Amino acid sequence: MKAILPLVLTGIFAFAGPLSANGDPEENPLFFTMDEVNLSQFQWKNRPVVVFADTENDPAFIEQMELLRARPDALRERDVVVITDTDPAARSDIRIRLRPRGFMLAILGKDGGVKLRKPFPWDVREISRSIDKMPVRQREIRARKEEIR
């Protein structure tokens, strides 16, 4: 009996995935820290929105994260992933490339290119409008309309 119990427990936990707040498996995480990811893993799949700050206690960083967390569905609809970088000492590749000074919001395209930089927090509606003007996003919108027909 003692030998079977660990096997049963292992089997149960092996099939249990991470759970979101509502109890459903979280298939597409939206928020990452820079040390969890490599930007190349998102190329042609997602649009990274990178939020820089010198500390997690920066009021602009706190405000930006609240704005982003308030409308996750609009971000997911546009294949956005949010990446935070609050450690200037770590000198991440994207921090070296973009050289933020204090707080900065950067929107990258699916091609990995920098599409927009802002030195202050932006609402999800403004981010969405900016993304919706991008050529790749325009093609996605047209393709979805054709699928509906």
Residue 117 lies in a domain: yes
pTM: 0.79
What is the tally of structural domains in the chain?
1
Residue 38 lies in a domain: yes
- Picking from 16, 111, 126, 120, the residue whose alpha carbon sits closest to that of residue 70 is 126
pLDDT of the residue at 85: 97
Residue 119: inside a domain, yes or no? yes
Q: Where residue 146 falls among pLDDT bands split at 50, 70, 90?
A: confident
C-alpha span between 18 and 24 (Å, rounded): 8
Per the domain annotation, does 17 fall within a domain?
Answer: no
Give the pLDDT band (50/70/90) at residue 22. Answer: very low
13 part of a folded domain: no
Contact assessment for residue 61 and residue 119, using Cβ atoms and an 8 Å cutoff: no
Chain centre distance of CA 130: 16
Q: Could you tell me the residue range of the domain that residue 47 belongs to?
A: 24-148
CA atoms within 13 A of residue 30's CA, in its CB half-sphere: 15
Is 130 inside any structural domain? yes
What's the gap between Cα 131 and its chain centre? 14
In a domain, 34, yes or no: yes
Q: How far apart are CA 120 and CA 77, in angstroms?
A: 23
CATH number of the domain that residue 31 is part of: 3.40.30.10
